[in-house]
Amino acid sequence: MDKMELNEIKARLKALKFNHKEDKKARKERILKQGFKAFVFEYFAHHINFIKKESSLFRNFIYDNIEKLEKTSKHLCFKAYRGSAKTTLLVRLWTIYSLLSNKKQYALIISSTLDIASESIATIKTELEENAKLINDFEISLGDEWTSEAIVFISGGEYKKIKAFGAGKKIRGTNYLGKRPDLIICDDIENDENVESKTQRDKLYKWFNKAILKLVARTTENYLYLVVGTILHQDSLLNRLNDDKRFLIYDFPLVLNFPDRLDLIDKNNILKDDLKGFKIDDENLNKMEILKEYFADTPSFYSEYQNKALSNETAIFSEYKIIEKEQDFDLVVLGIDPALGKAKGDYFAIAELKRIEKNKFHLKASGYKISPSKMIDVILKLYIKYLSLGKVVKIAIETIAFQEFFKDKLKEEALKIGIVLSVCELKNKVAKELRIDSLAPYINDGTILIDSNSNLLVEEMLTYPKAAHDDLLDASEMAFRIASSAGNADYKAINRILSKKKFKKGFL
């Protein structure tokens, strides 16, 4: 936080007025009884822009649950998007609340560097120096240590301390008045540099386990570890904590649901109609601007806003190649991975795999969240489109359970308009993960080129196998299996024959 921001906070604090006639003891007791949210809204309205109702799902969750969670677990981790106010809320205001409510006595704020941790100290100092209502109600006076790295203050006769540290620095044995820290907050302790190599990630993780998690006294029961941050790498500390049973992990991305037809949006001309199905954490934010950021730098967007680091280092599809322009093709296979609708959250996936050379394919994959009946229309339109171009068209689909029912319904609807579909039915006997893995060599060596507009497919590739979805990859694998097995056919000759024939009336 720079001097301009601090000066703005000071100016806002000076402009605030409060009822001096109200009994401060009664007000303090009332607020503390109501909890953290009441504390923030009463004393820190200048940090939340004087709002009357919180619009963020993330911040509402913190207000409603942080004190319950603190009683449930001594190790909490919150992954939240950049701009969510996680540092303001969970690091600065929660620290002040914990100390002034006498829940905690000695707090540590640890960030990737000491300078960044000191920014939180600077903000807290400003509140303890300038927030008249807070100072009045909690009888705050400054102690004998008041620096950019550590502060001591007194509230109601109780001494409190907050100290800043940078990640990886010597921190063992720190104590105040003979007591070890009882509130340890790690706020973005990772940065682009210390996640760059596995050696650096391992070093930070080792330091976190051997130094940070050993800070509290063995006999202390009233303590809390709070880890807050965004994901910078798939192998980051925050992601490694997923396997640590001590921690309760909560994930708050900015985008809860991307637009229904993300792959069809013109990134240079985003329209209001493009926002259908688009849900975000805070509906007061500008959705148009969010989509522009997504298209401008998708990998950074996923890291900073979605808590998904699209790390090429560990992704098995990391060397994929993009194809920008449409090329002539002679065969197209439509890979279909049906979904039962929106309830489960899976995408209804269609992969369009076009053969552009003997051993070269153009892959475009799209995900839909519409009903199966509407998807039949989408598939038939695609089929007719390619058939009318004189291309050989095949459909690859798994035929078990619902998929087989869907296949039969698809063929039935096609017959109604005079089309006999060329459907290749697949009985998958190999695990889906192994089938998807088998695509990697062909994607990485450029045999399969990825369409520049297949945003959801790229997301799945760069987060696989830990992706939330793999529906588009599954559809792509089925399409490629059929296309490669049909490799011996002379499709150019087939197309020459088809071009000389006229379709029967009513066929299209």
CATH of the domain at 395: 3.30.420.240
Please check whether residue 507 lies inside any domain of the structure.
no
Does 35 share its domain with 122? yes
451: tokens are: 């369409």
Mean of all residue pLDDT scores within the chain: 87
Task: Please tell me the distance from the alpha carbon of residue 354 to that of residue 35, in angstroms, as a whole number.
Answer: 60
Per-residue pLDDT band at 502 (split at 50, 70, 90): very low
Calculate the dihedral angle through the C-alpha atoms of 58, 60, 65, 69, rounding to the nearest 10 degrees.
20
347: tokens are: 């995408």
Task: Please tell me the distance from the alpha carbon of residue 62 to that of residue 77, in angstroms, as a whole number.
Answer: 12
Does 124 share its domain with 84? yes
Does 486 share its domain with 357? yes
Does 263 share its domain with 243? no
Burial (CB count <10 Å: 0-12, 13-18, 19+), residue 36: buried
Task: Please tell me the distance from the alpha carbon of residue 47 to that of residue 369, in angstroms, as a whole number.
Answer: 38
Element (H, E) at 123: helix 114-130
- pLDDT more than 70, % of the chain: 89
Of residues 28 and 429, more confidence is placed in 28
Per-residue pLDDT band at 503 (split at 50, 70, 90): very low
pLDDT in tens, 370-401: 888 889 999 999 999 999 999 999 999 988 88
Does 327 share its domain with 193? no
Task: Please tell me the distance from the alpha carbon of residue 440 to that of residue 320, in angstroms, as a whole number.
Answer: 9
Range of the domain at 56: 3-252
pLDDT of residue 507: 38
Judge contact between 344 and 371, C-beta under 8 A: no
Please check whether residue 508 lies inside any domain of the structure.
no
268: tokens are: 């240079």
Does 369 share its domain with 469? yes
**Helix, strand, coil percent values for the chain (each to nearest 5):** 40, 20, 40
Is the pLDDT at 101 greater than 50? The verdict is yes
Does 276 share its domain with 344? no
Does 195 share its domain with 299? no
State the CATH number of the domain containing residue 155: 3.40.50.300
pLDDT of residue 178: 84
Does 295 share its domain with 407? no
Please check whether residue 424 lies inside any domain of the structure.
yes
Please check whether residue 311 lies inside any domain of the structure.
no
Count of structural domains, the chain: 3
Average pLDDT over residues 466-474: 85
Does 182 share its domain with 286? no
Does 248 share its domain with 261? no
Please check whether residue 188 lies inside any domain of the structure.
yes
* CA-atom Rg of the chain in angstroms: 29
pLDDT of residue 20: 67
Does 340 share its domain with 217? no
Please check whether residue 350 lies inside any domain of the structure.
yes
Per-residue pLDDT band at 343 (split at 50, 70, 90): very low
pLDDT of residue 469: 82
Average pLDDT over residues 327-356: 85
Range of lowest pLDDT (9-23, 193-207, 443-457): 9-23
pLDDT of residue 494: 47
DSSP assigned state of 12: H
Is the pLDDT at 429 greater than 60? The verdict is yes
End-to-end CA distance of the chain: 64
Task: Tell me which residue of 114, 138, 115 sits closest to 127, measured CA to CA.
Answer: 138
Is the pLDDT at 403 greater than 90? The verdict is no
Average pLDDT over residues 98-122: 96
pTM listed for this prediction: 0.76
**Which residue, chain included where needed, has tokens 């690091």?**
91
- pLDDT more than 90, % of the chain: 60
Task: Tell me which residue of 464, 328, 304 sits closest to 391, measured CA to CA.
Answer: 328
pLDDT in tens, 286-330: 999 999 999 888 888 988 999 887 655 567 888 899 998 899 999
